[in-house]
């Protein structure tokens, strides 16, 4: 199921903002994409993810949805998850993970 921004959904949504040196932005975005495609998609409870690169090169934003926080915690607690966390920590200057509840979604009529 693709990531859906739905205020009525009961999913765990995490928005990670990574501050990066512009030279690391493509590497971090690629690492998030690879982790999602090669690992997260096969994990219980994973719904979807999106990776955004800021136009100034200074940030990467990762929007992820899991059925429950416990599903994300289990994935990140695995050997592959720990290796991924170490890789993104190496590439990012600062990481700001914040859970969110979707309040409103506007769309084209």
What global pTM score does this model have? 0.90
Question: pLDDT tens digits for 23-64?
Answer: 999 999 999 999 999 999 999 999 999 999 999 999 999 999
SS3 state of residue 85: helix
Question: pLDDT tens digits for 71-94?
Answer: 999 999 999 999 999 999 999 999
Q: How far is CA 91 from the centre of its chain?
A: 15
Q: What is the DSSP letter of 57?
A: S
With residue 91 as reference, give the H or E element that holds it. Answer: helix 79-91
What's the rounded Cα separation, in Å, for the pair 76 and 74? 6
With residue 56 as reference, give the H or E element that holds it. Answer: none
- Arithmetic mean of pLDDT, 91-105: 93
What's the rounded Cα separation, in Å, for the pair 58 and 80? 26
Residue with tokens 């994409």: 33
Domains and CATH numbers, the chain: 12-100 (3.30.70.100)
Q: What are phi and psi of 96, to 5 degrees?
A: -130, 85
């Amino acid at each position: 199921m693709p990531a859906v921004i739905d205020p009525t959904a009961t999913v765990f949504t995490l928005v990670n903002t990574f501050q990066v040196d512009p030279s690391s932005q493509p590497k971090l975005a690629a690492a998030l994409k690879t982790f999602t495609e090669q690992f997260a998609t096969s994990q219980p409870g994973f719904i979807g993810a999106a990776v955004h690169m800021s136009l100034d090169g200074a940030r990467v934003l990762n929007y992820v949805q899991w059925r429950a926080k416990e599903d994300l915690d289990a994935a990140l607690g695995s050997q592959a998850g720990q290796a991924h966390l170490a890789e993104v920590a190496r590439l990012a200057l600062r990481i700001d993970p914040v859970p969110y509840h979707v309040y409103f979604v506007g769309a084209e009529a």
